[in-house]
Structure 1
Amino acid sequence: MTQTLPIDDALPALLEALRSRGMAVLQAPPGAGKTTRVPLAMMESGLIRGRILMLEPRRLAARAAAERMAETLGEAVGGRVGFRIRGEAKVSRETVIEVVTEGILTRMLQTDPGLEGIGAIIFDEFHERSLNADLGLALALEVRGALREDLVLVVMSATLDAAPVAALMGDAPLVTSAGRAFPVETRWLPRPLEARARFDQAVAALVVQAVEECPEGGVLVFLPGEGEIRRVEGLLRGLKGCDIRPLFGAMEFTAQRAALAPAAAGQRKVVLATSIAETSLTLPDIRVVVDGGRARRARFDAPSGMARLVTERVTRAEAEQRRGRAGRVAEGVCYRLWSKGEEGGLQPFPPPEIAAGDLTGLALELAVWGSDALPFLTPPHPGVLGEARALLTALQALDGAGRITDHGRALSALPLHPRLGHMLLRAGGGEDAALLAALLAERDPMRDAPADLALRMAALRDPARIEREGHALHRPTVERIRAEARRLARAVPARPLGLTLGQMAALAYPDRVGLRRKGDAPRWVLSGGKGAALPAGQPLSGARLLVATDLDGDLREATIRQAIQISEAELRAVHGAQIGWRDVCEWSRRDGRVQARRQECFGALVLDDRAWTDAPPEALARAALDGLRQIGLNWSPAALRLRKRADLCRADGADLPDLSDAALLSGEALLPYLTGKRSEGDLRGLDLLEPLRSLLGWEGTQLLDRLAPSHFETPLGRRVPIDYEGETPGIEVRLQELFGVTVHPTVGPKRLPLRITLLSPGGKPVQVTADLPGFWTNSYADVRRDMRGRYPRHPWPEDPREADPTTRAKPRGT
């Protein structure tokens, strides 16, 4: 090790921590050299008994790290330093340091929890918080506590808040390395980018500015994905003295290595990269970073089972990682496509995959392990984990009690999502199933083609013919898929069952079988209950049934990106056990009536629909009640008056039932009165008076009549209805009819005085009072004086309290 790196000063403290505690968390900023220095230092220290495993989040990073360490030792890869990634391994009996991708550790632990022959595990770039890294650390900590106290664990990170990780590891020592090797100047935009500005053009312009202002060294440009990389590449084509090199995960390894190689003499290298270049990889000669400020992340919605890619602003941690790339070989400059004022709005860290990703694979691994009680840095959300287990149960990987099945164990051994592993095993392996599994696990090799999955399978079998037919193919992706299919075919003993592509897709995606909706638009309802659509004019637009194997993740109505047609007979052949009849009696809002149907269903799909002619009356009544809940109750004046009386008494503490709309519609009191009522017209004609009386019962009715009678009986025996609509119950009665009444009438448990509107003999209001005795004493004389002149033939005694009530006028001549 001739070149001095910042990490070198921290290595003694790290080794001492491992010697005393066997575990440590190493925090070192980008460019410190931790990926290559730490494993070699651990090997040379003599502390580790057995091999040293180092986990890397990406295949390119794993291979590159192994090559750099082997070069440092002056050896070829496969000697003391080797690597193992999916589909390729370079290790030997002499290998001491083995660099692996993160999922490989999980397989090793599940196969051999004692990790025989392994002395140490290094979790590199842990700040990326991949699901496999979180699971691997949790499993390793459990193994160390129960089986392998001598197992050395090191967690390395560039930007992670390391204290929680150290606490998770039993307050393991925290070792911090010095800053990056060279200072980096940061340059922001003078003002925020205009909303209407095109991102690709803005990045390209900033790259041109960086090349002009910084004449030395290579330029590393961070972009969210391949699409943006290709567009910026086109805008920068012909940039004088610059060699434009894309770098993203789906590229062939030879093309990736070209991006990592030094620039040709007289040329400046401009690398257009995704987040793959944030960590681990060494890019020689980079002096300038141009950060577009965006990152692409997967967001998973557990209820729908759909994932979608979203483009978001980078976090401060990611921006710092990217900035550090400019200071690895000399002083550098970082250009940011945002203003300094916008920096405060950035989130501190990206969300861990365990909090935002698909947990189906994790749920399967936990079932194989036999325990959920693992020390996770971020525990998985119980609801999302529950959805994952529901899918695994549907895939027969878990039994009804949530225990792993033999089929589930077989799925866990395959390097595939459980959906695709289930498809491969249930189809009996074979070339077609392996090819389809590899295709669905990889990026689309025909992204601009129609959505038909059969077209892609044909392209994998005969790429030249498909290209002759005018379709564009991404050949490197095609070759990756074919190579992976060969590996999968070798992993599963072939006993093909002759299933069609549609049937195999339906095995993998039982929740994404789509039945075309009525109408001209190409729209489907999926068996999982969500909606999906195709752009008009696609070959699959007329398909009655299809399986959507790739969707854009829109939760309202997803756009289908890949699908395959399936017939009903094919669906029944693979999912017949899940297809069954159900009786449906429900209110149809569209038709405004009760619908009683017998339906043959697969999930949310209705494959056959018939009239249910002998539906039981109770089911019909319950559907009608649902209709009432939607259209609302129609109150007659009499029913409304009864409810008002009950409300008054209940408000004053009387023990009477709640007669509100909500109470009536939430219970079953109305069911006996809905027999035979099937339409909206029937329901709007429902008289609520009888149901209310039934709900009150005999005792309640008696109590109500006593406390809040419907009528007030005058001294002449006439029944005057009491109005309970206003704030205070009231009556209207002719003044003379109350002669002789000396006690004011009341209602309710608290004896609330009635509001009495006293009427003249002609029926006009004369006075409103809630104190009739007081009226006789104080106001009657003035009313009498006025009324005698207007109605001389009617009696107006001086003392109404002693007079007889009457509604008659005096006989003529008296």
Structure 2
Amino acid sequence: MCYSDVISLEQLPVHSLLNPLRRAFGQHNQVILEAPTGAGKSTALPLAMLDWAEIEGKILMLEPRRVAARSVAHYIASQRGCAIGEEIGFRVRGESRSRATTKLEIVTEGILTRMIQQDPELEGIGLIIFDEIHERHLTTDLGLALALEIQGSFREDLKILAMSATLSGLPLDSVMPEAISLKSEGRSFPVDIIYNAVSASKNRSQHQSHSQWIEHMGRCILDLLKGDNAASEGSDDLSNGSLLAFLPGQGEIMRLHDFLASRLDLNQFSLCPLYGNLPAKAQDKAIAAADDGKRKIVLSTNVAESSLTIEGITMVVDSGYKRQARFNPKTGVTKLSLKRISQASAAQRSGRAGRLAPGHCLRLWSQEEQGRLLKADEPEILHTDLLPMVHDGACWGVKSLCELPLLTQPSQANESVAWQLLQMLDVVDEQRKITAHGQQAYELGCHPRLAHMLLKAKSLSTGTGSDELTGLACLLAGVLESRSRSRQGTDIGNYLREAGQGESGQQVRRWMKKLKVNMSLSEIIAGAASSDIAFLLALAYPDRIAKSRGMSGYQLANGTGVILPDNDPLSHVDWLVVADFQESEGRTSGRVYLAAEIDSAAFKEQLSFLVSTKNYCGWDESKGRFFAETQKCIGQIVLSKTASKKPEPSQIKAAITEQILAKGLGLLNMDDKLVQLQNRVKLAAKLDSEHGWPDIDDASLLANLDDWLGPYLGDVRSLSQLKALDCYTLLLNCLEWDKQRRLDSLLPCHWPMATGTKAKITYDDSGRALLNVRLQEALGMAQSPVLANGKLTVTMELLSPARRPLALTADLASFWQGPYVEVKKEMKGRYPKHLWPDDPANTLPTRFTKKKTFNAKS
């Protein structure tokens, strides 16, 4: 790690907390430490702890990223004066430099979880340090939960230190209520922040916009390096300093790299990419001090956001974007989308420029947008694929993740999908108890899908005298777990040879050793048959068997649509098994990255167990009636169907629900009265939140059809009968009687005017209450009506005698004093028989003409 040798560890702010921290561990085994960027918590603190008598046993420190784990370990070892792998070591996926006598071991978060599963008492471990816990990675939350379980059950003496750059929005008190909290000041230099947003265009496509901000970023970097930017005015530091640029992913890094490489003198500047999939040597080059006299430009993802100090950085250029993976439980796949970072992340990034000297940060968004960013990043547990985590939970013995002391409870939908898939793969039984197969799968140390495939291949190979199928399964798993691949099309068979090389090759050999495969990789590759590849992938991805839809791509067994590039050799085959695909923002179909062709004959032979028979009821548009048939299916793909007898009421009910989910709530009687009820309840939930109003918006109604609509479908036999259902009353009855009365009181549908008229109040989906009334009936009103216990002012839509709109105002007093004068001038001549007084605020209202009003008074 490249910390300046000029600054001694004793000068770092965290040094003042060493004694208080020792005293804290003398009183309690849980400590929470808040230490901002530059405090020295990742380096000075564990280095000092090596000599503390209070800590008996090995110290484990968790880092969220491999590059940080390796760098921190090397730096502390150098400060300690020992070789890496002796007293100081590290362990990351695919690389370990540690031994039994190692006193401080830096590990990535997933390593800890496996250590706990293998040894629930963590024998020999005295302290676990969770560094950068604010990043809220899935493995961080799980590792902390399991460590707390151990501390509470087996190891009361185990010490836990949770460290964070910020505690804002971090609910550590909920799982560590008795922990002692300490706070350190940061050690960072001032950073000037400049905003320079890329100009927007409404007519620009997403691709053009994406290319434009990368080009904008490139030009900003060139200006900074030349001293032509506002951030560099009056500063000599920038003429010699290095630059760190934050981008969302590898693709953007390489595009910016190419842009800069063609415009910079590479004899003066060194361009260094930095991302997770980069080989270790290239990562080391990016974070090491430049020793060739060149100024360094580091193009990084958020791996450089925390725990790393890159020598010589005085400038940060921040794109403001990150690539977020969000799991879709309906399709069972993760969608990647470009998202704005949070304010906390922006602060971390800008702080990189002030770690060793005063610096400058250029943010490529507006200062106004900065205020609209989320305060902190969402925890991964809310939006990521929970399958590996649920597998961990099952191995630990829980039947729901809520049984663990988690900082944040997971998405219920995502967790439910994970348990269902584990049951399909025979990893857990119907009671969510881990099976022997599931335990063996966990010990293989790979994704549950791939572990299932490996074990099934081994089982099928037993007794055949050949390990070829098992070896092929190991190679396929190597392809799918590889952190980087070449581009050789979507056919997974093209990647077998490279899967046997480098880091992935080492992992393949470890699996082969565990599964006792006595063949060489070259023999396995030479004998690999496409039918075997497809069969093995179908074992791992039964929900991703795909049938061609002609020109529109393929349909997966889980119902998702996917596409392949037109020129790909697999783009015109009838059947595929898709091993890797992703959904992207703005695209209706996912893009396939890895697949294999499969012969449909396999569904009658070795894959016949995937075929199910079901009775289906649907709606025939052409004949206008429901029909029933027996289908043979793989998931949602229909292989064959035969007509059956008249559908049963229960089948029709299921078919109606399917139609509504497919075509929307428009099939129901969603009249204006019902829409008004939805808008009123939504507004009540906002203005009267303490009373717990239900969600009855369209999305919630679709998600809960069985609850509110299902009980009333028993006698429905046609879509016309469905349309006749009084859905307003059904929804109103979802509210208890006291809630109905409270809603009418808070947000009434009518307002009593002094004239006796009950003026209608309309609520729109933006939260506005609109009262329509003729202007003459509003005379004498000093202010607009106020609803919801004074929290909502009604907007008055004042109408002409012919009930045409004249004015719209939520401030009636101001209207009478100003705009009314112009309205009166225009309307008095058009409606001379009606009242247009000079003092409207003090005139009695009327529903009649002047003559009728006068006669009534007489």
Structure 2 residue 247 is the aligned partner of structure 1 residue 223:
yes
Equivalent residues in 2 for 1:208-247 (5 A)? 208-211=222-225, 212=227, 213=232, 214-237=238-261, 238-240=263-265, 241-247=268-274
Query: 1:619: how far off?
Result: 7.3
Equivalent residues in 2 for 1:166-565 (5 A)? 166-189=173-196, 193-195=199-201, 198-211=212-225, 212=227, 213=232, 214-237=238-261, 238-240=263-265, 241-371=268-398, 372=401, 373-428=403-458, 430-443=470-483, 445-447=485-487, 449-457=488-496, 460=499, 479-494=502-517, 500-517=532-549, 520-553=550-583, 556-565=588-597
What's the counterpart of residue 714 of structure 1? none
Q: Which residue identity lines up with residue 375 of structure 1 in the other structure?
A: P
Q: Alpha-carbon deviations, 1:220-279, whole Å to 9, x = none? A: 111111111111111111524211111111111111111112113431111111111111
Q: Which residue identity lines up with residue 382 of structure 1 in the other structure?
A: Q
Most deviating of 173-182 and 104-113: 173-182
Q: Which residue identity lines up with residue 508 of structure 1 in the other structure?
A: A
Preserved contact between residue 175 and residue 407 of structure 2 (Cα < 8 Å): yes
1:62 pairs with one of 53, 60, 69? 69
Q: Alpha-carbon deviations, 1:675-718, whole Å to 9, x = none? A: xxxxx9xx99xxx9xxxxxxxxxxxxxxxxxxxxxxxxxxxxxx
Q: Alpha-carbon deviations, 1:459-518, whole Å to 9, x = none? A: 547xxxxxxxxxxxxxxxx6333233223222333399987111111111111111223x
- Give, in whole Å, the separation in 1 of the partners of 2:113 and 2:144: 9
Query: 1:543: how far off?
Result: 1.8
Most deviating of 342-351 and 232-241: 232-241
Are residues 628 and 544 of structure 1, via their aligned partners in 2, closer, same or farther at CA, if it must alter by over 3 Å? closer
- Give, in whole Å, the separation in 2 of the partners of 1:553 and 1:155: 35
2:609 pairs with one of 567, 577, 580? 577
- Count of residues in Structure 1 that have an aligned counterpart in Structure 2: 626
- Give, in whole Å, the separation in 1 of the partners of 2:138 and 2:711: 47
Most deviating of 360-369 and 170-179: 170-179
Preserved contact between residue 166 and residue 174 of structure 1 (Cα < 8 Å): no
- Give, in whole Å, the separation in 2 of the partners of 1:598 and 1:312: 45
Are residues 216 and 122 of structure 1, via their aligned partners in 2, closer, same or farther at CA, if it must alter by over 3 Å? same
| SS of equivalent to 1:500 | helix
What's the counterpart of residue 114 of structure 1? 121
Structure 2 residue 183 is the aligned partner of structure 1 residue 151:
no
Q: Which residue identity lines up with residue 33 of structure 1 in the other structure?
A: G
1:19 pairs with one of 12, 26, 31? 26
Are residues 573 and 117 of structure 1, via their aligned partners in 2, closer, same or farther at CA, if it must alter by over 3 Å? farther
Structure 2 residue 137 is the aligned partner of structure 1 residue 98:
no
- Give, in whole Å, the separation in 2 of the partners of 1:556 and 1:509: 21
Preserved contact between residue 210 and residue 335 of structure 1 (Cα < 8 Å): no
Are residues 578 and 629 of structure 1, via their aligned partners in 2, closer, same or farther at CA, if it must alter by over 3 Å? closer
Equivalent residues in 2 for 1:697-776 (5 A)? none
Q: Alpha-carbon deviations, 1:136-157, whole Å to 9, x = none? A: 1111111111211111100111
- Give, in whole Å, the separation in 2 of the partners of 1:310 and 1:382: 22
Q: Alpha-carbon deviations, 1:18-48, whole Å to 9, x = none? A: 2211221111112222111111222212111
- Give, in whole Å, the separation in 2 of the partners of 1:281 and 1:157: 14
Q: Alpha-carbon deviations, 1:418-441, whole Å to 9, x = none? A: 111111211227332111112112
Query: 1:283: how far off?
Result: 1.1
- Give, in whole Å, the separation in 1 of the partners of 2:173 and 2:591: 44
Preserved contact between residue 25 and residue 166 of structure 1 (Cα < 8 Å): no
> Which structure 1 segments of 5+ residues have no match?
462-477, 634-661, 675-679, 689-814
- Give, in whole Å, the separation in 1 of the partners of 2:579 and 2:639: 20
Preserved contact between residue 612 and residue 634 of structure 2 (Cα < 8 Å): yes
Q: Which residue identity lines up with residue 533 of structure 2 in the other structure?
A: L
Most deviating of 587-596 and 9-18: 587-596
The two structures have a TM-score, normalised by structure 1, of 0.72
Q: Which residue identity lines up with residue 226 of structure 1 in the other structure?
A: Q
| SS of equivalent to 1:244 | strand
Q: Which residue identity lines up with residue 388 of structure 2 in the other structure?
A: G
- Aligned-pair identity in percent equals 38
The two structures have a TM-score, normalised by structure 2, of 0.68
- Give, in whole Å, the separation in 2 of the partners of 1:301 and 1:443: 22
> Which structure 2 segments of 5+ residues have no match?
1-6, 233-237, 459-468, 519-523, 668-707, 725-858
Preserved contact between residue 587 and residue 627 of structure 1 (Cα < 8 Å): no
- Give, in whole Å, the separation in 2 of the partners of 1:582 and 1:181: 65
Query: 1:337: how far off?
Result: 1.1
Query: 1:616: how far off?
Result: 4.8
Are residues 171 and 544 of structure 1, via their aligned partners in 2, closer, same or farther at CA, if it must alter by over 3 Å? same
Most deviating of 100-109 and 89-98: 89-98
Query: 1:180: how far off?
Result: 2.5
Structure 2 residue 638 is the aligned partner of structure 1 residue 606:
yes
Are residues 480 and 573 of structure 1, via their aligned partners in 2, closer, same or farther at CA, if it must alter by over 3 Å? farther
Preserved contact between residue 546 and residue 557 of structure 2 (Cα < 8 Å): yes
Structure 2 residue 118 is the aligned partner of structure 1 residue 78:
no
Q: Which residue identity lines up with residue 342 of structure 2 in the other structure?
A: T
Q: Alpha-carbon deviations, 1:314-370, whole Å to 9, x = none? A: 111111111111112111111111222221011111111111111111111111111
What's the counterpart of residue 771 of structure 1? none
Most deviating of 163-172 and 32-41: 163-172
Preserved contact between residue 24 and residue 172 of structure 1 (Cα < 8 Å): yes
Q: Alpha-carbon deviations, 1:344-399, whole Å to 9, x = none? A: 01111111111111111111111111124211100112232111100100111010
Query: 1:208: how far off?
Result: 1.5
* Higher Rg: 1
What's the counterpart of residue 775 of structure 1? none
- Give, in whole Å, the separation in 1 of the partners of 2:442 and 2:609: 24
Query: 1:411: how far off?
Result: 1.7
Query: 1:100: how far off?
Result: 1.0
Q: Which residue identity lines up with residue 209 of structure 1 in the other structure?
A: D
- Give, in whole Å, the separation in 2 of the partners of 1:488 and 1:667: 54
| SS of equivalent to 2:317 | strand
What's the counterpart of residue 130 of structure 1? 137
Are residues 419 and 286 of structure 1, via their aligned partners in 2, closer, same or farther at CA, if it must alter by over 3 Å? same
Query: 1:293: how far off?
Result: 0.9
- Give, in whole Å, the separation in 2 of the partners of 1:19 and 1:162: 28
Output the aligned Cα RMSD.
3.1
Are residues 109 and 590 of structure 1, via their aligned partners in 2, closer, same or farther at CA, if it must alter by over 3 Å? farther
Are residues 534 and 48 of structure 1, via their aligned partners in 2, closer, same or farther at CA, if it must alter by over 3 Å? same
Most deviating of 384-393 and 21-30: 21-30
Q: Alpha-carbon deviations, 1:564-591, whole Å to 9, x = none? A: 1111233444542231333334332256
| SS of equivalent to 2:551 | coil
What's the counterpart of residue 618 of structure 2? 586
Preserved contact between residue 664 and residue 670 of structure 1 (Cα < 8 Å): no
